[in-house]
Amino acid sequence: MPQVQFEKIVKSYGRVTVLKNLDLEIGDGEFVVLLGPSGCGKTTLLNLLAGLIDVSSGRIQIGGKDVTNLDPKDRGLAMVFQSYALYPTKTVRGNLKFGLAAAKLDKAEQERRIAWAAKLLQIEPLLDRKPAQLSGGQRQRVAIGRALVKQVGVFLFDEPLSNLDAKLRTETRLEIKRLHDETQSTIVYVTHDQIEAMTMATRIAIMNAGVIQQFDTPDEVYERPANLFVAGFIGAPAMNLFPATISTTGGSVSATLADTRAKIDLSQYRFVNGPREGDAVVLGFRPEHFLPPNAANGQSAAHFDLPVQYTEKTGADATGYFKTDSGLLAVSVAPELIGELKQGQIASLSFPHGKVHAFDAASGQRL
């Protein structure tokens, strides 16, 4: 499957620049997710690749071929939109066949492709139904099938699950992942949902304000976020972030939090660049990495004694929120223990070595 390359891409609307000198290379057969908040430029980037809008400057290549100025039909792409965009008067078979008529394929080849896509997507019993007779998940599978039958090199997905309920999103997400595993197609997928990104992507391009903040595997963006934006965006509940000041007294490295005055041992932290005495930093603590409340651990990097503000339990997940001078500290707690935390109670919290994240306060970049 072809490689996709964006080179120095700029997209502007008048004085507003949506994409800023963006570079991105997507390998053959990768499943790359463009992830970010609304307005970050991810759908604009997908539409540039599809040829639905023109670049202001820069170049787009697919399989080594410059497609920057080619019409959408000449780029070797197929796209699945947020809305199903099915023809209501046509059957499922008719919707699948519609895109093939323009390709001037003989009837036997058209039927072969329809049968292949229908079997792959498990919609064979639905071929003679019309869209109004289908559920939301079935309609989305038909929309995916309409793209599949084109048998092109690159498939584009623009938030295809956003109109589905939670159960159907999970089912369709698994279908798309299975589809990629079986076809080994190159997929570029846009979403604002980090669960979709983390479960499906081979690599994630996290975007903000028209700039790619980090492009890496799901594990890497979670375990080693490149900057404060990525750290705060990836994870639910979000990473706890607190300003601190570095101390290098006695040859050891530690940091003191500005609000709780807690001292954080950073002697085992893998710094990219060595910190200096008095440096302003931001330390990150993922809620799920805390040890159970009141489970003393003398080998931890950090220790907090904080009052319980409130708790939440959602089935198999539970979170305790603890009060600090600058806000709340979120801690994931085993559901069977959450009932032991009472509002106003002081709880002892410990955080292990190797799980602390440190960022430069000025630049936001990982230290």
239-360 and 4-232 share a CATH fold = no
The amino acid that residue 130 corresponds to is K
- pLDDT averages per 10-residue partition of the chain, 367 residues: 92 95 96 96 96 96 95 90 85 88 81 89 92 89 87 90 81 86 92 94 97 98 97 94 90 86 88 87 95 73 89 91 90 90 90 92 95
Q: Give residue 358's pLDDT.
A: 95
CB within 8 A of 343, min separation 6: which ones? Answer: 308, 309, 310
Q: Give residue 241's pLDDT.
A: 95
Q: Give residue 144's pLDDT.
A: 87
Q: Considering the domain delimited by 239-360, tell me its CATH architecture.
A: Beta Barrel (2.40)
Which fold, 4-232? Rossmann fold (3.40.50)
Residue corresponding to tokens 């409130």: 310
Q: Give residue 274's pLDDT.
A: 77
The amino acid that residue 258 corresponds to is A
CA-nearest of 253, 279, 273 to 362 is: 279
Preceding amide of 72 cis, omega within 30 = no
The domain ranges of the chain are 4-232, 239-360
Instruction: Please give the structure tokens belonging to residue 334.
Output: 């085993």
Cβ atoms of 194 and 37 closer than 8 Å: no
| Whole-angstrom distance, CA of residue 217 vs CA of residue 222 | 9
CA-nearest of 325, 249, 239 to 283 is: 239
Q: Which pTM value belongs to this model?
A: 0.90
Q: Give residue 7's pLDDT.
A: 97
Phi, psi of 349 (to 5 degrees): -120, 135
Cβ atoms of 218 and 198 closer than 8 Å: yes
| Whole-angstrom distance, CA of residue 357 vs CA of residue 135 | 44
Cα end-to-end span (Å), the chain: 37
CB-count burial class (<10 Å; 0-12, 13-18, 19+) for 292? middle
Q: What are the DSSP E strand ranges found in the chain?
A: 4-13, 16-26, 31-35, 57-62, 65-66, 77-80, 154-158, 186-191, 203-208, 211-216, 240-247, 254-257, 263-265, 280-285, 302-314, 317-324, 327-332, 346-351, 357-360
Q: Give residue 191's pLDDT.
A: 95
